[in-house]
A and B are shown apart, each in its own frame.
Chain A
Amino acid sequence: MSAGDLFLQQVLNGLTLGFVYALIALGYTMVYGIIQLINFAHGEVFMVGAYAGLTVLLMIGGQGSAAGLVAALGAAAVVCLLLGLAIERVAYRPLRSAPKLSALISAIGVSFILQNAVMLVYGAQDRYVPAALPASGWKFGAVTVTPMQAVIFGVSIALMVGLQALVYGTRLGRNMRATAQDPLAARLMGISVERVIASTFAIGSALAGIGGVLFGTYYSTINFHDGYLTGLKAFTAAVLGGIGNVPGALLGGVLLGLLEGLAAGYLSAQWKNVVAFAVLVLVLLLRPRGLLGERVAERA
């Protein structure tokens, strides 16, 4: 493989990863936009989604069934949607008027609970995720696009277009934007702020669940520890693009994925994570609003 081909292949791999980051980043960005809370348990929701998908794929059995993948995606979305609602209800809503740091601790508590519950059920070792789609891909010159990569691009783009339509074209979306601007005024206008917050958690969590299944089937192994690091990187993507901003999450995810793919290809796998964190720190220090963001980091 020539140098140029290697570059293109790394770009493609990075893009694939970036779209998954973007799906998870949406959950962070939406919740932060509405209640200025970093949902530290969000990475674990992604991880639970991956395991929910695994369960469905194992139940269906057999290799290369596209129907299995659809079922896994659907199941993970539903499981994570309910999980997101439950987390909001149990860990965040009772602390709405408490000091902000208390919510951080209860989020960490929820992370411990989810990680260990998954570990108890599925074991601590890496779990192999059966391939849902054939591995043979389409060749474009020297670069190969696998069906799984195509699915990741397609599903992510469709979901993001759908989300944008929801935020700007529906009643719920309008209520969400109103709540993000001013919760008190939104309430006075008759919007049920609690319901808006719950819906935001539900939608963000369902997207993370779908991201989990895509991640698991793409890399073919998952571990109960995956939620922490992937969640952190997705958060980086959200900040990079500008937190509270839906297209920003996509841009941030894709950029971060590209950087990581190139770092993995040209530096070494160990330094890959440093790249992600260095980007995070630099963006926050040089352009705290993110690339597309309007919010200022001077809050709190």
Chain B
Amino acid sequence: MRKRTSLAFGLILLLSFFDPDPYRSEIYATAALYALLALGLNVIVGFAGLLHLGYAALFAVGAYTYALLNLRLGWPFWLGLPASGAAAALAGVLLGLPAIRVRGDYLAIVTLGFGEIIRVVVTNLEGWTGGPNGLMGIDHPSVGPVHFGVDSKPYYALLMVLIAFTAAACSRLKHSRVGLAWAAVRENELAASCLGMNARQLKLLALGIGGWVAGLAGCVFAAKQGTITPDSFDFIVSVMVLAMVILGGLGSVPGVILGAVVLSVVPELLREFTQYRMLLLGLIMLLLMRWRPQGLLGPASALFRRVREPAA
């Protein structure tokens, strides 16, 4: 199964990379960006079991970090990339410090609140962020003499490299001591604490790692677009990434990548029905959850406390 999955992934990757159509290449790059975001959010929601609804804010921190470093200090992309990751990781941890005092649905709402606050603050700090008009003229990256420009191919390749590293790291992390500790805290925090695990540190670590990945994605996004506005970091982005993670299967690394691909490609396939696109997407989400509530590649899991069921 594992072999077949990776083979299929490789084949799709190869085919997509040699696709000459610029419109489809753009879709691949978008899907790859979402896949990277989904991998990061999966660490927070899937591994550590923290329902985070403000992930787009961390993505925004990454994008604005690179944009400001580049526009104000002239930093090149390759320096901006780790800086964006670090800034978003820091933001994830700092916002997490107060937020992890509450759990479950309440944590979801606190993170949602932080996400909205960050977006409104970015919109209103016009002197720094350009307000609703955003920031323009952000440098595209270059490798030696090759300039990335506006073509989506090189970004797609870059994102693939980042995804490969992140996915490999996540898979190893999942089965490491830390990964097992996350699983323990997620399934039963009290028991895990009694066994000497520091739930607080473990949760902050997950938020930091998830933030780092969101920061990298934000930096690539800003460099690719050249222009960023607060609209790109709407609540709907957090929701879509979370939907990808859940749809693909919480905690499953290939699963969340598949989820990201499905949810970014399906709306494009439905482009013919422009008007009905989002309606159909909603319908697909609804039906998929009825058919496979644990996600496409997820195991049946008791990750989150089940809704209290009336005795059967």
With A109-B285, A270-B123 known as contacts, the answer to whether A99 contacts B302 (CB < 8 A) is: yes
Contact with B along A170-193 (1 / 0, CB 8 A): 000000000000011001100001
Instruction: Give the contacts of B74-111 with A (CB-CB under 8 A).
Output: 98-99, 101-106, 108-110
Among residues of A, the one whose C-beta sits closest to the C-beta of B124 is A270
With A112-B279, A297-B103 known as contacts, the answer to whether A281 contacts B113 (CB < 8 A) is: yes
Instruction: Give the contacts of B271-299 with A (CB-CB under 8 A).
Output: 275-276, 278-279, 281-286, 288-290, 293-294
Interchain CA distance A228-B234 in the complex, whole Å:
12
Q: How far is the CB of A125 from chain B (nearest CB, A)?
A: 15
Among residues of A, the one whose C-beta sits closest to the C-beta of B302 is A99
With most chain A CB atoms within 10 A of its CB, the pick from B99, B106, B121 is B106
A109 to B286, Cβ gap below 8 A?
yes
Interface residues on chain A, size class? 35 or more
B301 CB within 8 Å of chain A: yes
Q: What residues on B are CB-neighbors of A277 within 8 Å?
A: 113-114, 116-117, 120
B239 to A108, Cβ gap below 8 A?
yes
A104 to B102, Cβ gap below 8 A?
no
Instruction: Give the contacts of A249-300 with B (CB-CB under 8 A).
Output: 270-271, 273-274, 277-278, 280-281, 284-285, 288, 297-300
Among residues of A, the one whose C-beta sits closest to the C-beta of B101 is A285
Among residues of B, the one whose C-beta sits closest to the C-beta of A228 is B235
Residues of B in contact (CB 8 Å), total 55
Interchain CA distance A189-B161 in the complex, whole Å:
60
B286 to A106, Cβ gap below 8 A?
yes
Interchain CA distance A90-B307 in the complex, whole Å:
16
A95 to B247, Cβ gap below 8 A?
no
Interchain CA distance A90-B239 in the complex, whole Å:
21
Among residues of A, the one whose C-beta sits closest to the C-beta of B282 is A112
Instruction: Give the contacts of B37-89 with A (CB-CB under 8 A).
Output: 45, 51
Q: What residues on B are CB-neighbors of A297 within 8 Å?
A: 102-104, 106
Interchain CA distance A172-B255 in the complex, whole Å:
44
Secondary structure class of chain A's binding surface, majority of residues: helix
B306 CB within 8 Å of chain A: yes
B311 CB within 8 Å of chain A: yes
Instruction: Give the contacts of A78-108 with B (CB-CB under 8 A).
Output: 90-91, 94-106, 108
B308 CB within 8 Å of chain A: yes
With A187-B311, A285-B110 known as contacts, the answer to whether A116 contacts B305 (CB < 8 A) is: no
Interchain CA distance A26-B113 in the complex, whole Å:
20
A280 to B109, Cβ gap below 8 A?
yes
A300 to B304, Cβ gap below 8 A?
yes
Residues on B facing A (Cβ under 8 Å):
45, 51, 98-99, 101-106, 108-110, 112-114, 116-117, 120-121, 123-124, 235, 239, 242-243, 246-247, 250, 275-276, 278-279, 281-286, 288-290, 293-294, 301-311
A239 CB within 8 Å of chain B: yes
Q: What residues on B are CB-neighbors of A270 within 8 Å?
A: 120, 123-124
Q: How far is the CB of B267 from chain A (nearest CB, A)?
A: 11
A109 to B304, Cβ gap below 8 A?
no
Q: What residues on A are CB-neighbors of B306 within 8 Å?
A: 97-100
Q: How far is the CB of A96 from chain B (nearest CB, A)?
A: 5
Residue from B112, B294, B310 within 8 A of A194 (CB atoms): B310
Q: What residues on A are CB-neighbors of B303 within 8 Å?
A: 99, 101
B117 to A281, Cβ gap below 8 A?
yes
With A104-B246, A106-B285 known as contacts, the answer to whether A99 contacts B113 (CB < 8 A) is: no
Q: How far is the CB of B191 from chain A (nearest CB, A)?
A: 15
B106 to A284, Cβ gap below 8 A?
yes
Q: What residues on B are CB-neighbors of A300 within 8 Å?
A: 103-105, 304-305
A21 CB within 8 Å of chain B: no
B311 to A184, Cβ gap below 8 A?
yes
Residue from B103, B106, B120, B304 within 8 A of A274 (CB atoms): B120
B285 to A102, Cβ gap below 8 A?
no
